[in-house]
Amino acid sequence: MTVIVDGMGGDHAPIEILKGCAAAVEELGIDVIVTGPEDLLKKTMEENQIPEKGITLRHAEQVITMEDEAGCVLKAKRNSSMGLAMDLLKNGEGDAMVSAGNSGAVLAGGTLIVKRIPNVKRAAFAPILPNKTGYFMLVDSGANEVCTPEYLDQFGALGALYMKHAGFAAEPRVGLLNNGTEDCKGPELHQQAHALLRDNPAVNFVGNVEGRQIFDGVCDVLVADGFSGNILLKSVEGTASYMTKIMKESLTSNWFSTLLAALLKPQLKKMKAKLDYTEVGGAVLLGISKPIIKAHGSSNAKAFKNAIRQAAAFAESGAVETMTQLLSAPKAEPAGK
């Protein structure tokens, strides 16, 4: 199993990436190809005594920044760490790919270099988040800010297949993010998507899900249009960060509570781990013909290791093959649709 890693994506490139790759080799037995400026990668490995074992470097001169336009990965910056990683994946030199770089470029490269599974309407970002009973997938978290009911229907079917193959649920329950739980809720887009999901034989649809229920374990796949999904994901991040700050302030407001809080460190650490969604890896780029994982921009070595593990498991699971099969099956629908 070989995972290709964009060596220059994210806030802590390349050092945390290389450390994460070395950990993946050492702890998980996964081979890694890292793309990027070879001199810089080599130097970073030497200076930080990162073992070379299992890591192959592939030279790419350019780097895609967060400010770059998404499309640059296709032409102007094709010879970048991300562009090369996409080409290697497309050409079968590795089984899966991880990047923590520019999301728009990951989406553009995935869609137009690696390409979608036939009949997939749109690729979507699908992070996996913890909840009270385990984990759920949010799809789409921001790839498509304008959606059609058909996109949402497909997000549900593909998300369910991923969650099943990844071992999260035998028969994943699919919910639709909406502004109320009643069937008739939401704008037209959501009402139509609700009807399609309900009638889709490939989807175990459990109906509309409100924002306040998302952590209750009511579904394994939460379908959202990319705009609302993005608002949801980021407001969860914002709220968690705000609460953590308030908790820290409250617990260290005097010497006595600071002392008590120090004694509670193991419990607080356990709590943090339960909220840490990089434990699972990154966001799946759902609908692409090869496994691509988008790691969080702020990923550290451990998050990269987990994203590499997730990418390898994605490739091993055969999920892409099952998705391809599902979408190539003739549907009981009027011809020409």
Chain contacts with a second copy (rule: CB under 8 A): 131-132, 142, 145-146, 177, 179, 186-187, 210-216, 226-228, 230-243, 245-247, 249-251, 253, 256-257, 260-261, 263-264, 266-268, 270-271, 274-275
Q: Which amino acid is at 138?
A: L
C-beta closer to a second copy: residue 51 or 242: 242
Which lies closer to a second copy via its Cβ, residue 53 or residue 132? 132
Q: Supply the minimum distance, in Å, between the C-beta of residue 290 and a second copy.
A: 27
Least distance from a second copy to the Cβ atom of residue 221, Å? 17
> How many other C-beta atoms lie within 10 A of the C-beta of residue 14?
26
Determine phi and psi for 82, rounding to 5 degrees: -75, -45
Beta bridge partners of 31: 2
26/182 with CB nearer a second copy: 182
Considering the complex, state which of residue 48 and residue 181 has its C-beta at the smaller distance from a second copy: 181
CB of 300 to a second copy, least distance (A): 18
Residue 54 or 217 having the CB closest to a second copy = 217
Structural contact between residues 175 and 219, judged by C-beta atoms closer than 8 angstroms: yes
What is the rounded distance in angstroms from the CA atom of residue 161 to the CA atom of residue 322?
8
Tally Cβ neighbours within 10 Å of residue 290: 22
The answer to whether the bond into 68 is cis (omega within 30° of 0) is no
CA angle 208, 283, 147 (to 5 degrees): 45
Query: Nearest approach, Cβ of 81 to a second copy (angstroms)?
Result: 23
Return the closest-CA partner of residue 17 out of 63, 78, 67. Answer: 63
Amino acid in position 148: T
Tell the smallest beta-carbon distance from residue 213 to a second copy (Å): 6
